[in-house]
Amino acid sequence: MSKSDSRAETAARIRHLLDTEGDAVAENTRGFNRGRYESTGELGDYESLKSEARAIKEDAIERLPELIDDLRESVEARGGHLYVADDAADANEYVREVVDGGNVVKSKSMTTEELDLNEALEADGARVTETDLGEWVIQLAEEDPSHIIGPAIHKSREGIAELFNERFDPEEPLETAEELTAFAREKLLEDVREADVGVTGANFLTADSGTMALVTSEGNARKTAVVPDTHVAVSGVEKVIPTIEDLAPFVELIARSGTGQDITSYVSLFTPPVASPPVDFSDPDSAVADPGRVAGDGATEPHPDREFHLVLVDNGRLDMREDDDLRETLYCIRCGACSNSCGNFQSVGGHAFGGETYSGGIATGWEAGIEGLDTAAEFNDLCTGCSRCVPACPVEIDIPWINTVVRDRINRSGDPGDLDFLVDGLTPDEEPAGLDPTKRLFGNFETLARLGSATAPLSNWGAGLGPVRAAMDRWLGIAPERDLPTFERETLVDWFAARGGPRVSESMARREAVVYPDVYTNHVAVDRGRAAVRTLEALGVRVRVPESAAAASGRAPLSQGMVETAREKAERCRDALLPEIDAGRDVVVIEPSDLAAFEREYERLLPADDAERVADGCYEVLEYVFGLLENGADPGGLAAGDGEPVAYHAHCQQRTLDLEAHTVAVLERLGYEVTTSETECCGMAGSFGYKSQYYELSMDVGEPLVEQFGDADRVLASGTSCGEQLDALLGSPAEHPIEAIAPADG
């Protein structure tokens, strides 16, 4: 299939999901996400709990073989069995022998989805029933989970009612959520009563005691574990942590991060085989326990009728443990925060943004490690690197980095294409032949921009012509609906030089700074660069915009997974900026995605010391203004708001750096009345929204901004691509906040 056909197919699949499942997914995930903000906001020590959880997981994965030995000792000391399965077939074979064609009730377990355990057991004639209500809906509908913690969030109440009514034909058709729940409870209770074996997952396993934690709300996992006399728990090897005490931060974080509850109804800490007597419904009139027992009797002793098997699944995980870039995936506690905080996921859900089993941002790591690059390649593009999942992750996984690395590996695994000649001449990059031409084009935006400015306005006229756009769509996958950037003939650097250099004398200067001429500001959005220079000068800063600093940050290739090209750019940019920093000049950055590269990704691309020096020397432009005002600079020369209402959408990566508040504070101090957006990401995410196959998704992700900002008279946005997106969504251009506050040009 040609690349353009394959893009059309991707677009059609996404369009179908937007139409059929998008509304239910959006409502549920956005609700979970709002809940996360509220419930984590109640935790005074949220950040330190996350760091503690992270440290526990780092330590546990580091010591995993030793911990598995300890866990085995704990489980076997109570008469339980522990089996480490190499792969899915091995795990299924073990469980099949235990189940032996009997009746199985299950509580929700993504790991058993990964194994396709149900199919394996059913092949032996076993009756397998999912008892988690969402998972049961999926089982009845013969669909796949659309979310790792809410498997049926893509289904509406009406859709579930229709499914139940068709399948079971109840006397009175079911309608309300209460009726559906009551019906399911009764129906599933019959299966629980007849079960020979209960199969559960495990959220955590503590090596010191052999205890498994199950985090649930419905109570089905308790029934699954307590009613049948045989319990099989299936879990990835990565779930083992050292001690009971290590559970504390996870118990406080997991539900808040996932559904936004402070805690789920039940956190079961079972140390199997448990003390509870099995409930034998085939003998309904004999007492469950030995008569005369009181609370607490025999609480530490395994019940003699119980059998317990713990199946720890490797299936690629131990190799991930050895992989410096995928290892972090194993810290994942499967809370779903990276799905709920993701703009793209909120629109399409896990049926698009997911692989064989796992979905959401972290799924790229899981699927690459367990299934392989081909599976990860099917959805990896949907991570735009916006980084909103980073502060949401309770174990501080750098999920965008995992996506970037996997994208790089996918790029390198591609067949050399027949279209490389189209862009090869333009793109002196470090990437292999066969890289997707769209990625190569966007990854080399710096080269394009230099050429664009040099040949403007010719370059702009050519790019606007209908036949040119059709060809760009067909051959390069650039959405014809999008306005292309208009290159300025006079770059910011040229303008500054022509103006005669710095205007604040050294003796009068409060600070000395370099306004970083990022590719966009230098070649396209020159006005905001000029506004930054005027603003800083009005606040007493001696500003320079040297040609030598006009080195791309590497953000563009990084977002396409072109890691080596990004590294080469980062080295050049470091060489450009460090002399300025060493000379005592602050580097002021206008484009948040470039600042995020300096602050977040350079530590992956450069020696640690260099990365730290660059990060320490750079400031977001409004953060810098905020600092100047806090230190007594006189805002009198800036454009005051006088109560003017403005609608402000901060850039996603800027929010992750915690730099939204500075812009809001400056605007408010100058008298603007600021409304901030509630949307995680505008949907454009750099180049993502320009790609033909993702244009519609991108616009759908931005839709909440239309609802919130549709009536605003003046809209501000910190990111270039956010501004483009707001323009497309709202029909009027957005300005950078620095343009709002800058003194008039003159």
Partner 1 sequence: MTADTLSTFVDAVERHHASVHRVAPDEATSTIADLVDAPAVGVPLPDAWGIDLPDTVGTDPTPADLDAAATGVTAGSLAVADYGTVVLESDAAGSEAVSLFPERHVVVVRTEDVVPGMREAIGRLGDRLRDGASAVLATGPSATADMGELVIGAHGPREVDVVLVESAGGGESVAGDGDPATGGATDE
| Positions in 114-153 near partner 1 (CB under 8 A) | 131-134, 137, 150-152
Q: Which is nearer to partner 1, 293 or 503 (CB)?
A: 293
Q: Which is nearer to partner 1, 291 or 746 (CB)?
A: 291
* H or E segment and range at residue 240: strand 240-241
Q: Which is nearer to partner 1, 78 or 450 (CB)?
A: 78
Q: Which is nearer to partner 1, 149 or 392 (CB)?
A: 149
The interface mask with partner 1, positions 302-321, x = CB under 8 A, is xx------------------
Q: Which residues are CB-contacts of 705 (< 8 A; sequence separation ≥ 6)?
A: 649, 677, 679, 682, 725, 726, 729, 730
* Chain position carrying tokens 């499967």: 334
Cis ω for the linkage preceding 733 (within 30 of 0): no
The answer to the question of residue 298 lying near partner 1 (CB under 8 A) is: yes
Write b or e for each residue in 207-232: b if 16 or more Cβ atoms lie within 10 A of its Cβ, otherwise e.
Answer: bbbbbbbbbbbbebbbbbbbbbbbbb
Q: Which is nearer to partner 1, 287 or 465 (CB)?
A: 287
Q: Which of residues 187-216 bind partner 1 (CB under 8 A)?
A: 188-189, 193, 206, 208-209, 211
The answer to the question of residue 262 lying near partner 1 (CB under 8 A) is: yes
Handedness of CA 244, 245, 246, 247 (dihedral sign): positive
Ramachandran region, residue 116 (left: φ > 0; alpha: ψ -120 to 50; beta: rest): left
Q: Which is nearer to partner 1, 103 or 217 (CB)?
A: 217
Question: Least distance in Å: CB of 302 to partner 1?
Answer: 7
User: Which stretch in 95-103, 265-273, 520-528, 633-641 sits in contact with partner 1 by CB under 8 A?
Assistant: 265-273
Question: Least distance in Å: CB of 288 to partner 1?
Answer: 5
The answer to the question of residue 359 lying near partner 1 (CB under 8 A) is: no
State how far the Cα of 603 lies from the Cα of 607, in Å rounded to an integer: 7
The DSSP bridge partners found for residue 235 are: 312
Q: Which is nearer to partner 1, 224 or 341 (CB)?
A: 224
The answer to the question of residue 160 lying near partner 1 (CB under 8 A) is: yes
Pairing of strands 81-85, 586-589: unpaired
The answer to the question of residue 337 lying near partner 1 (CB under 8 A) is: no
Q: Which of residues 471-530 bind partner 1 (CB under 8 A)?
A: none
**What backbone torsions phi and psi does residue 539 show, to the nearest 5 degrees?**
-100, 10
Q: Which residues are CB-contacts of 175 (< 8 A; sequence separation ≥ 6)?
A: 161
* Chain position carrying tokens 């076997």: 76
* Chain position carrying tokens 């980084």: 387
* H or E segment and range at residue 267: strand 266-270
State how far the Cα of 410 lies from the Cα of 683, in Å rounded to an integer: 23
Question: Least distance in Å: CB of 101 to partner 1?
Answer: 24
State how far the Cα of 555 lies from the Cα of 562, in Å rounded to an integer: 10
**Contact 694/399 with Cβ under 8 angstroms?**
no
Q: Which is nearer to partner 1, 63 or 187 (CB)?
A: 187
The answer to the question of residue 679 lying near partner 1 (CB under 8 A) is: no
Q: Which is nearer to partner 1, 98 or 153 (CB)?
A: 153
Q: Which of residues 29-88 bind partner 1 (CB under 8 A)?
A: 78
Cis ω for the linkage preceding 302 (within 30 of 0): no
Select from 275, 471, 661, 665 the one that contacts partner 1 (CB under 8 A): 275
Q: Which is nearer to partner 1, 189 or 509 (CB)?
A: 189
Q: Which of residues 596-655 bind partner 1 (CB under 8 A)?
A: none
Select from 300, 508, 583, 609 the one that contacts partner 1 (CB under 8 A): 300
User: Which stretch in 275-283, 423-431, 509-517, 667-675 sits in contact with partner 1 by CB under 8 A?
Assistant: 275-283
The answer to the question of residue 291 lying near partner 1 (CB under 8 A) is: yes
Q: Which of residues 166-185 bind partner 1 (CB under 8 A)?
A: 177-178, 180-182, 184-185
Select from 169, 290, 324, 711 the one that contacts partner 1 (CB under 8 A): 290
In order of 274, 281, 286, 293, 331, the CA distances from 305 in angstroms are 10, 15, 15, 17, 36
Q: Which is nearer to partner 1, 275 or 468 (CB)?
A: 275
Number of residues lying near partner 1 (CB under 8 A) = 84
